[in-house]
Chain A
Amino acid sequence: MKEISGIKEIVKPGNLAYKKSGILTDEIMHYCPGCGHSTAHRILAEIIEEEGLQQETIGVSPVGCSVFLYNYLDIDWQEAAHGRAPAVATGIKRLLPDRFVFTYQGDGDLAAIGTAETIHACNRGENILIIFINNGIYGMTGGQMAPTTLPGMKSSTSPYGRDVRTMGNPLKMTDIVATLLGTYYVTRQSVHNPANVRKAKKALRKAVQYQKLNKGTCFVEIVSNCPSGWKMTPVQSNKWMEENMFPYYPLGDLKIPDMLPDEQSKTE
């Protein structure tokens, strides 16, 4: 690879604001340019490292774009069948109740084929963290319509736009699980600009801390872009997401526990 001129001058210890998390491996990620997955991976890796959780974490990777997630984070992993990650995580957590167990799933995986597993794991209040990346499309298989695809949105299986009369309306899984008694903390975030990355990281850290209390399922949706699937440039896709996805999937907390973890520990 051709060296960028002056890079050695710029990249020197005194100038570095960020450090690569030790939880991230050196494997080259396979994601398309501008995709939100890699950013979500990074903040997750940073939190696992900062919270000192590597030795007690077991992740469950899905079928979808993030199928190779186990190559990128240096923790123990189980690869689940399509949609079954919450059931697999249930098995792990029930057998190893003192471990930190999370799933990382896309919208096809979580909101279509895995709807039953998702709702029932949340309804039982399984003490797991579910990270839900919602980009409104099946990315890995080439941009087909997902349950989360917006009305009128074009995809390879809704080439004239999603017609809600025959294809149904987008499913708001995060809103559904927030109504269940088994969930403890439910939030919706995005990672498309630095401000939102910081907010998402804060929310994800809270979810990880809440999870350690074993008081129910924590659920973090990250509304994300899919430049390739949406047939846009990364910049266009982020703009389109702000204008179209966020009104339908508004960012913010949907369910917050009465008390923060540190307050809770004081009262117990």
Chain B
Amino acid sequence: MKQELRLMKGNEAVAEAAIRAGADGYFGYPITPQSEILEYLMDANPYEKTGMVVLQAESEIAAINMVYGGAGCGKKVMTSSSSPGISLKQEGITYIAGAELPCLIVNVVRGGPGLGTIQPAQSDYFQAVKGGGHGDYHLIVLAPASVQEMADFVELAFDLAFKYRNPAMILSDGAIGQMMEKVWLGPQQERSKTVPEWATTGKPPTRKRNIITSLELDPNRQEIFNQKLVAKYNEIREKEVRFEEFQCEDAEYLLVAYGTSARVCQRSVELARAQGIKAGLLRPITLFPYPSKQINKLADKAKLILTVEMSAGQMVEDVMLAVNGKVPVHHYGRMGGMIPTPDEVVDNLKKLIKEI
């Protein structure tokens, strides 16, 4: 149902896709390299067209709590930021996970730690997939590798968030947020009129009062709630794994990479194959749930696995867990806002092959 072809930045694609998906509200705060999302929405002024609320908050903390309030009313609401801002949002995110509210958080990752750099990185993987804030919880994490996926994953993320009453995150980076590509956009959808039965909208006499909370002082009842969350995460692990394979059928050397790194690695596979090296690429699309089973399966045929990340090596731990010692797993990474080149990856792979 794609309708319109546009040339856009990844950040702009997120904003336009949110309007078209019938989002009810966006609450944001400026930070490089994602400010175009807020700017685009302010300029598009969707309130006039669809009724979508767009508000610039006084901080990332306020923005995520506005998301909490809107999500608690059963509305399709979202926020976006980049790494330091996402750190500030972690308090709100854990409350949203604890209150089992659906929402979308977009992280256009930049290098860290601290104020770091404004250049692209993948160093927030742990924060995104292992929880991020306090307490046992998970986000549903989608990793786009193109401007098209930046747009497509907005609706997918909202659908998954509402299906599981769980916050969803689009884990992008400064490269995909800033680069321009052609993107097919779907038609304008109407904002939903359905009110979930748990939403706080004012208590009619026909139902009990709805309470959005994550507080439970009785440890027995808190544990029962934690078990409920675990069951939900297991269901998500079972049903929602998404990944893409590139020349994996006969791959002896498997690359695993997501987002920008996966784009680089796709070229690396072509370069390696031209030199007679049977390389393949598995690109996780969902980082939580992680495609562990598929990686384990591919490890049966592979001689070694190389993960490529723009970090000191974070996702590599999940690959190791998936493979469980079947084959050696290595990491190659660039940091600080540097992006690996396809040749660098191939050189590294060749070095590792020699060492076998």
Residues in A lying within 8 Å of B, measured CB to CB: 54-58, 60, 67, 70, 74-81, 84, 87-96, 99-100, 116-117, 120
Please name all residues of chain B whose beta carbon is closer than 8 Å to the beta carbon of A92 when the two chains form the complex.
69-70, 72-73, 200
Chain B CB within 10 Å — which of A67, A74, A91, A120 has the most? A91
Sorted from nearest, which 8 A-B pairs have the closest CB atoms?
A91-B69, A91-B66, A87-B65, A79-B213, A76-B200, A120-B58, A88-B69, A91-B70
In the complex the two chains form, what is the Cα distance from A162 to B67 in whole Å? 38
In the complex the two chains form, what is the Cα distance from A93 to B66 in whole Å? 10
Task: Write the chain A residue with the least CB distance to B63.
Answer: A87
Is B188 close to A, CB under 8 A?
no
In the complex the two chains form, what is the Cα distance from A75 to B212 in whole Å? 12
Please name all residues of chain B whose beta carbon is closer than 8 Å to the beta carbon of A75 when the two chains form the complex.
202-203, 209
Is B253 close to A, CB under 8 A?
no
B25 to chain A, nearest CB (A): 6
B210 and A91 contact, CB distance less than 8 A: no
B252 to chain A, nearest CB (A): 51
B209 and A76 contact, CB distance less than 8 A: yes
B75 and A74 contact, CB distance less than 8 A: no
Given A84-B92, A117-B62: A78 in contact with B55 (beta carbons within 8 A): no
Is B77 close to A, CB under 8 A?
yes
Classify chain B's interface size: 35 or more
A76 and B210 contact, CB distance less than 8 A: yes
Please name all residues of chain A whose beta carbon is closer than 8 Å to the beta carbon of B75 when the two chains form the complex.
95
Please name all residues of chain A whose beta carbon is closer than 8 Å to the beta carbon of B72 when the two chains form the complex.
78, 88, 91-92
Task: Write the chain A residue with the least CB distance to B54.
Answer: A94
A148 to chain B, nearest CB (A): 22
A79 and B69 contact, CB distance less than 8 A: no
Task: Write the chain A residue with the least CB distance to B67.
Answer: A91
Please name all residues of chain B whose beta carbon is closer than 8 Å to the beta carbon of A87 when the two chains form the complex.
57, 61-63, 65-66, 68-69
A24 to chain B, nearest CB (A): 12
Q: Which of A57, A58, A94, A100 contacts B66 (CB 8 A)?
A: A94
For B295-320 the 0/1 string (1 means CB < 8 A from A) is 00000000000000000000000000
Is B27 close to A, CB under 8 A?
yes
Please name all residues of chain A whose beta carbon is closer than 8 Å to the beta carbon of B70 when the two chains form the complex.
91-92, 94-95
A162 to chain B, nearest CB (A): 27
Please name all residues of chain B whose beta carbon is closer than 8 Å to the beta carbon of A91 when the two chains form the complex.
25, 27, 65-73, 77
B335 to chain A, nearest CB (A): 33
Please name all residues of chain A whose beta carbon is closer than 8 Å to the beta carbon of B53 when the two chains form the complex.
94-95
Please name all residues of chain B whose beta carbon is closer than 8 Å to the beta carbon of A95 when the two chains form the complex.
24-25, 53, 69-70, 73, 75, 77
In the complex the two chains form, what is the Cα distance from A92 to B58 in whole Å? 17
In the complex the two chains form, what is the Cα distance from A96 to B24 in whole Å? 10
Q: Which of B27, B92, B95, B210 contacts A77 (CB 8 A)?
A: B210
B15 to chain A, nearest CB (A): 18
A77 and B58 contact, CB distance less than 8 A: no
Task: Write the chain B residue with the least CB distance to A113.
Answer: B61
Q: Which of B58, B68, B203, B215 contacts A88 (CB 8 A)?
A: B68
Given A92-B73, A94-B55: A80 in contact with B202 (beta carbons within 8 A): no
Q: Which of B25, B65, B73, B211 contacts A81 (CB 8 A)?
A: B65
Task: Write the chain A residue with the least CB distance to B47.
Answer: A94
A77 and B69 contact, CB distance less than 8 A: no
Is B91 close to A, CB under 8 A?
yes
For B38-72 the 0/1 string (1 means CB < 8 A from A) is 00000000000000010101110111011111111
Is B201 close to A, CB under 8 A?
yes
Task: Write the chain B residue with the least CB distance to A120.
Answer: B58
Is B204 close to A, CB under 8 A?
yes
Query: What are 17 A-B pairs with beta-carbon distances under 8 A?
Result: A58-B201, A60-B69, A70-B209, A75-B202, A77-B211, A78-B200, A81-B92, A87-B68, A88-B65, A91-B67, A91-B68, A91-B71, A92-B70, A94-B66, A95-B24, A96-B202, A120-B57
B202 and A54 contact, CB distance less than 8 A: yes
Is B214 close to A, CB under 8 A?
yes
Task: Write the chain A residue with the least CB distance to B74.
Answer: A95
B311 to chain A, nearest CB (A): 29
A2 to chain B, nearest CB (A): 29
Question: What would 20 more interface pairs be, CB under 8 Å, given A78-B211, A88-B65?
Answer: A55-B202, A56-B202, A58-B200, A58-B201, A58-B202, A74-B209, A78-B72, A79-B215, A87-B63, A89-B69, A90-B66, A91-B27, A91-B68, A91-B69, A92-B69, A94-B55, A95-B75, A99-B201, A99-B202, A117-B58
